[in-house]
Amino acid sequence: MTGFPERGFPEAEFAARTERAQARMAASGLAGLLLMSEAEVRYFSGFHTLFWQSPTRPWFLFLPLSGKPIAVIPEIGAELMRGTWLDDIRTWSAPCPDDDGLSLLEDLLAPLAEAGKPIGVMKGHETSLRMPLGDYERLMARLPNLAIVDATGLVRGLRMIKSEREIEKIAHICAIGSRTFAKVPELAHEGLPLEELFRAFRREGLAEGADDVPYLVGGADRGGYRDVISPPSRRPLARGDVLMLDTGAVWDGYYCDFDRNFAIGSADDASRRAYDVLWRATEAGIEAARVGTTCRQLFRTMQAVIAELDNQGGDIGRLGHGLGMQLTEWPSHAAFDETVIEENMVLTLEPSLSYGDGRLMVHEENIVVRKDGAELLSERAERALPVI
Amino acid sequence: MTGFPERGFPEAEFAARTERAQARMAASGLAGLLLMSEAEVRYFSGFHTLFWQSPTRPWFLFLPLSGKPIAVIPEIGAELMRGTWLDDIRTWSAPCPDDDGLSLLEDLLAPLAEAGKPIGVMKGHETSLRMPLGDYERLMARLPNLAIVDATGLVRGLRMIKSEREIEKIAHICAIGSRTFAKVPELAHEGLPLEELFRAFRREGLAEGADDVPYLVGGADRGGYRDVISPPSRRPLARGDVLMLDTGAVWDGYYCDFDRNFAIGSADDASRRAYDVLWRATEAGIEAARVGTTCRQLFRTMQAVIAELDNQGGDIGRLGHGLGMQLTEWPSHAAFDETVIEENMVLTLEPSLSYGDGRLMVHEENIVVRKDGAELLSERAERALPVI
């Protein structure tokens, strides 16, 4: 077990991210970028708080074409924001339903509107508008000349490529996740309600060093589970069950996201076969995840192995995705995604299939793509379905 | 320690929620309600999953003017949604950036658009648009005759009043939170890094029966903390520190949200005084939180006590809020909020003040308002600043 990475990032990292964004803004004729989601505000400022779990207050970060980002935030966040590399922090007493930051945004954006200079807002795939839609519409009505361009592609292009410090954090939480999964044979046993196993898994993840284990889903059922997003039932684990746990644990704001399958007491042939196919599909994915490959090719490579058992395409919609500050990030390993894989992308490989009468199996690993190919960040799952 | 409440709700509860919404829709001339946020989808359907943590896929629930809600969701959620009381579940293979539910929504909404019947969407205070803004704009462009009305007030009015089953769940997690806080004197000691205390607190919360402890913030510093939303530092607790922990723990999808203050080794006079004022402000709030009072009055009652030490109004913007499926919900105890308090509202009372040179103290309890007054759900904080 190696030492801990450092928390946070040096100022130079935020400056480099900002400069890269500004170069792309200049190239696409954008005079600014208005960001309001947790990951983007944190990516450019370093502002890190769980307070985003409260939906009450909006938070804004504006990237001008040059210079540091400008924060437009509720007063409750001022002290924490002053600890970041930002200089220009504008606050209001929030919540204030009549004017939750709108006047401050109007002051900031009016000169751009008057000068006919467009700004970017993230409006695309895998984004949300993290402010009231009514307030957004009011802001647009107050700045009728402000041109808004979708900046999802710009931010996506930056965030998909991880820095070494980001990779170090993700590797750290993946190692914690691996050690936690390694304890499952001690934690799980016949007769234990699934709900209690979830609780024990979370406690173990914290003991292994996770800051939190916010995402934990899974299932267990005789001969295979049928659903991969449920909360746990009180049903006790029984001999012949296939158990799956899928976790997103967090360290310093970065996620792991992988799962493991186990058979309780004994494994049926169909589940062992499904496991074997998925293990080999993952292996093919690890081999194929190279610089210059597209996500579509990676998808097809894994799908070709899965088709030995299931050629229906499944219900999950893709066979893996990006990973970092969010549990799931761009890109998607899917037929629609032509993203070219680049060095230092962190990805999940997540093949899945249906078998038997509506049973489902998923398998997942986390990798970082290096110059010479993929490196595993999660400890590779056992070659055959492990029996507890 | 009493037994566990049952998980979930009987179908009759969802039917009653839906009928109440439909009566309000009829009264305000709405032909439907298009919902897309976790709490609202769960409130009317019972669909409960942590998968919302993945930002990749949008999820929709449509409430018609009569009959059950209609789900328009990614295939990955179909199996779980089939376990709810819903009958009409429409799915697509998501993610699909070109058509992430839009065609299904268009089919559903086109007849209303043609008939000139408006629908409600939540666009107001404390809401977000939990789908890509670009997709929302595309949907509106495809249905140019569809009138959209802000339905925040309608849903807010329903969700603010809790059922007995909801109150039972919140009471259960508040009791778990209280037992967890009672262990802090055993967990915390001089020399322990705050980060380790946070980890120990989360583990204890799980051991006491929480499903998760997703929200945990706080601070510790000599003679008082200066920030209430930070993640923990590695700084070891030291004699003379004032420590605050504020947690949102969860059971079956319902939150507690309260905090506790502790002095490490010894307490300074200014912090003891601040604690005393906040304790009495909370006491005044508990007494004032009665059916028929407004949130503004409740705010003023607490503020009058706080003013003994601090008449600046503070940085937090309000002195408490609603509580339930979200860590913070409507209403706000603030001068702007004229909401009349009704029976079975679950509220936090959260007075705060500044003292000394920029130190901050917060204090929080959770209550349910009954016919005859407030009942505490959290175990009342000690009368004087406890010293560990």
Average pLDDT, chain A: 96
**Which of B74, B129, B336 comes nearest A129 by C-beta?**
B129
Residue A343, min C-alpha distance to chain B (Å): 23
**ipTM entry:** 0.97
Per CB-CB distance under 8 Å, the chain A contacts of B74 are 317
What pLDDT score does A358 carry?
86
* Alpha carbons A296 and A315: distance in angstroms, whole number: 17
Q: What is the largest CA-CA distance in chain B?
A: 71
Res. A56: pLDDT tops 70: yes
The DSSP output letter for A378 is S
Residue range A293-321: average pLDDT? 91
Which CA distances in Å does A270 have to A309, A357, B100? 10, 11, 33
Nearest C-alpha neighbor of A251 from the set A214, A211, A206 = A211
Chain A neighbors of B211, CB-CB under 8 A: 195, 198-199, 231
Pairwise CA distance, residues B57 & B64, whole Å: 23
Which residue of chain A has the CA closest to B199?
A: A206
Q: Is the peptide bond before A95 cis (omega within 30 degrees of 0)?
A: yes
As a whole number, mean pLDDT of residues A324-336 equals 97
A89, A156, A201, A227: best to mutate for the B interface, most B CBs within 10 A: A227
Q: What residue of B is the nearest CA neighbor of A324?
A: B54
Mean pLDDT of chain B: 96
What's the pLDDT score for residue A1?
A: 43
Tokens encoding B185? 């004197």
In this structure, are strands B254-255 and B241-251 parallel, antiparallel, or unpaired? antiparallel
Q: Which is the CATH superfamily of the domain at B164-376?
A: Creatinase/methionine aminopeptidase superfamily (3.90.230.10)
Per the CB < 8 Å rule, is B93 touching A321?
Answer: no
Q: Which of A78, A211, A316 sits opposite B76 (nearest CB)?
A: A316
pLDDT at A254 over 80: yes
Looking at chain A, the whole-number percentage of residues with pLDDT higher than 90 is 94
pLDDT in tens, B96-148: 999 999 999 999 999 999 999 999 999 999 999 999 999 999 999 999 999 99
Cis omega (within 30 of 0) on the bond before A236?
no
Alpha-carbon distances of B364 from B226, B250, B345, rounded to whole Å: 17, 17, 16
Q: How many CB atoms lie within 10 A of CB A82?
A: 12
Are A239 and B243 a contacting pair, CB within 8 Å?
A: no
Closest-CA residue of chain B to A227: B79
Q: Which residue is closest to A226 within chain B, CA to CA?
A: B79
Closest CA to A60 of A134, A2, A121: A121
Closest of A108, A96, A105, A181 to residue A138, by C-alpha: A105
pLDDT value, residue B1:
43
Write out the two tokens for A258: 């992988």
Q: Give which of A283, A273, A287, A296 is closest to A361, Cα–Cα.
A: A273
- Return the bridge partners of B74, or none: B92
Beta carbons of A132 and B121 less than 8 Å apart: no
CA distance A77 to chain B (A): 7
Q: In chain B, list all ranges with CATH 3.90.230.10.
A: 164-376
State the pLDDT confidence band at B3, using cuts at 50, 70 and 90: low
* Mean local confidence (pLDDT), B232-240: 94
Rounded Cα gap, residues A170 and A189, in angstroms: 30
Query: A316: pLDDT confidence band, cut at 50, 70 and 90?
Result: confident
pLDDT tier, B294 (very low <50, low <70, confident <90, very high otherwise): very high
pLDDT at B4: 82
Chain B neighbors of A152, CB-CB under 8 A: 132, 134
Segment B212-224 shows an average pLDDT of 95
Are the beta carbons of A247 and A176 closer than 8 angstroms?
no
Of A130-139, A339-348, B114-123, B231-240, which gets the smallest average pLDDT?
B231-240
Mean local confidence (pLDDT), A217-242:
93
CA distances from B196 to A207, A299, B200 (A): 10, 41, 6
In tens, the pLDDT along A133-174 reads 999 999 999 999 999 999 999 999 999 999 999 999 999 999
- Residue B347: phi and psi, rounded to 5, are -135, 155
Strand ranges across the sheet with A365-370: A329-332, A321-322, A346-349, A365-370, A373-376
3-state helix, strand, coil split of chain B in percent (to 5) is 35, 25, 40
Do B125 and A100 count as a contact with CB atoms less than 8 A apart? yes
- pLDDT of amino acid A228: 86
Chain A nearest CA to B53, separation (Å): 7
Question: B214 to each of A7, A80, A250, B7, B38, how far by Cα in Å?
Answer: 20, 20, 11, 19, 16
pLDDT at residue B163 is higher than 90: yes
Instruction: Measure in Å the smallest separation between the Cα of B24 and chain A Cα atoms.
Output: 21
Which chain B residues touch A55 with a CB distance below 8 Å? 126-128, 326, 328
Of A207, A213, A229, Cβ closest to residue B80: A229
Strands A70-74 and B359-362: unpaired
Report the pLDDT averaged over residues B28-43: 98
Instruction: List the structure tokens of A55.
Output: 């939906």
Task: List, for residues B295-350, the tens digit of each pLDDT value.
Answer: 999 999 999 999 999 888 777 789 999 999 999 999 999 999 999 999 999 999 99
Angle between helices A11-27 and A152-159 (to 10 degrees): 140
Instruction: Say if domain B11-159 classifies as CATH 3.40.350.10.
Output: yes
Tally of residues, chain A: 388
Task: Pick B315's closest partner by Cβ from A48, A75, A128.
Answer: A75
A51:B78 CB<8 A: no
Instruction: Determine, for residues B231 and A49 on separate chains, whether the beta-carbon distance falls below 8 Å.
Output: yes
As annotated, the residues of chain B forming the CATH 3.40.350.10 domain(s) are 11-159
Least CB–CB distance from A56: residue in B126, B150, B213:
B126
Instruction: Please answer yes or no on whether A215 and B50 come within 8 Å at the CB atom.
Output: yes
The length of chain B is 388
Candidates A77, A125, A315; nearest CB to B97: A125
User: Can you tell me whether residue B362 is helix, strand or coil?
Assistant: strand
Residue A144 backbone class (left: φ over 0; alpha: ψ -120 to 50; beta: rest): alpha
Q: Which of B295, B301, B261 is nearest to B281 (CA)?
A: B301
When CB atoms are compared, the residue of A75, A206, A321 closest to B199 is: A206
Residue A211 near residue A251, CB atoms below 8 Å:
yes
Q: Which of B125, B154, B318 to mutate to test the interface with A (most CBs of A within 10 A)?
A: B125
